[in-house]
Amino acid sequence: MNTKFDQTILFLTGLLITILLLSGCRSSISQSPVLTTEPSVLSTAQKYIQDGQYEQALMVYNQQIQSGKNLDVAYAERGDYYTLTRNFDLALSDYTTSLGIKKSAVVLIDRCNVYQLLSEYDRAITDCTEAAKLDPMQADADIVLSLIYVDQNQLDQARTSINLALQIDPQSAKAYYVLSQIEINSKNLDKAVDDLTKALQIDPTNVTYFWQRGFLYLSLAKIDAAKADMNSVLKYGNPNVDGQVMQQAGSELRALGENP
């Protein structure tokens, strides 16, 4: 990879962590039926993360685990924290502990996602396949499976998985995002733009979707559209969470003669 386009796509792959964790790949508070107490504790930790107060968030998770309450959820939530902060070994440990307490399709997908990020594809496929069997209506299993196949350049299998995800959840912005990655890898940039536009119709303030579509517009020489999307990144971004992509968007705007 030696072109700016390829380097940028590689950069975006790392941003998927933020998409999957912060746009609802798992939200134990809303999805886990066992969480009947202390929901405000874990939501407080998530608020700390949004505010960039990571040490405080970790303290809340540790205290919840020490309390002995809802341990499957508490370990899974701390696993999300470790994934977001790129402590993948600790994330895997917490997800595995959570699964040992209670088997959950959502947590299997979490662990699958980490294995995918570590390029441990066999383990990732095992977890996401098990998650799909455990909860056939869990579209995120097929979404992460599709990403694994994209990583392996198995684009036909990637399409099969993402089409299954969209059959389960036609309103999944993440699925359209992953479909855009398939189109990018197939060099179908106009189709990728269409998929990102669909994702933004569902999730209209997602800065990663804006940034990638803006960069695609730039690659297609649609400069005004590219500028509009880069400005949307700066408008909707949270510096504590989206700082890297906001920096990239600002750099592109300056290169285009704007002073963001």
pLDDT by 10s per residue, the chain, length 260: 334 444 444 445 444 544 444 444 444 333 333 333 345 666 788 788 778 788 888 898 898 899 888 899 889 989 988 988 889 999 999 999 999 999 999 999 999 999 988 999 999 999 999 999 999 998 999 999 999 999 899 999 999 999 999 999 999 999 999 999 999 999 999 999 999 999 999 999 999 899 999 999 999 999 999 999 999 999 999 888 788 889 989 999 999 988 87
Q: Please state the domain extents for the chain.
A: 1-16+170-252
Tokens read off for 31: 């999805």
pLDDT attached to residue 260: 76
Count of beta carbons in the 10 Å neighbourhood of residue 170 = 12
State residue 172's pLDDT score: 94
DSSP string covering 162-222: HHHHHHH-TT-HHHHHHHHHHHHHTT-HHHHHHHHHHHHHHSTT-HHHHHHHHHHHHHTT-
In this structure, what token pair is assigned to residue 27? 């939200």
Q: How many Cα neighbours within 13 Å face the side chain of 103?
A: 8
State the pLDDT at residue 243: 86
Per CATH, the architecture of 1-16+170-252 is what? Answer: Alpha Horseshoe (1.25)
pLDDT the model gives residue 41: 62
Q: What pLDDT does 81 receive?
A: 87
Say how far residue 256 (Cα) sits from the centre of its chain. Answer: 29
